[in-house]
Amino acid sequence: MRLFYLVIFMVFCSVTQVKSQNRTPGFPDPETVATVRFYPNPASSYITFDLLKNYGKNYSIQVFNFLGKKVYEFSAEDQKTVVNLTDFFRGIYIFQLKDPNGKIVESNKFQVNK
């Protein structure tokens, strides 16, 4: 019976022409390259945001708790910003890099452990 299911599966895969990914392993897709690097993650007392591109002062980074409340915001004009986490509670936070029109350029999450 298992052999029957194996043969059916192989026939199904050959009919639907299942293919592997068409990107080179080990190299990220050009469309998904991050513009904000943040570390350490998980963080306990501070987190550092490194911007890999030079954004103007009209760009901003907003930090939200997991309930969606904005807890911190700063301008993205500096390439490296250190955020003090003493007023942050333990949990998962989401940051968003926004352009001057309010469009989200990048979004990611980090964890605070205390």
Give tens-digit pLDDT for 54-72: 777 889 999 999 999 999 9
Q: What whole-number distance in Å separates Cα of residue 32 and Cα of residue 98?
A: 16
Contact 59, 100 (CB under 8 A): yes
- What is the pTM assigned to this prediction? 0.70
Backbone angles phi, psi at 52, to 5 degrees: -80, -15
Give tens-digit pLDDT for 75-93: 988 889 999 999 999 999 9
Q: What whole-number distance in Å separates Cα of residue 79 and Cα of residue 50?
A: 6
- Domains of the chain by range and CATH? 52-114 (2.60.40)
Q: What whole-number distance in Å separates Cα of residue 88 and Cα of residue 111?
A: 10
Displacement of CA 28 from its chain's centroid (Å): 13
Percent of all residues in the chain with a pLDDT value above 70, rounded to a whole number: 72
* CA 100 vs CA 1, 57, 87: distances in Å: 62, 9, 27
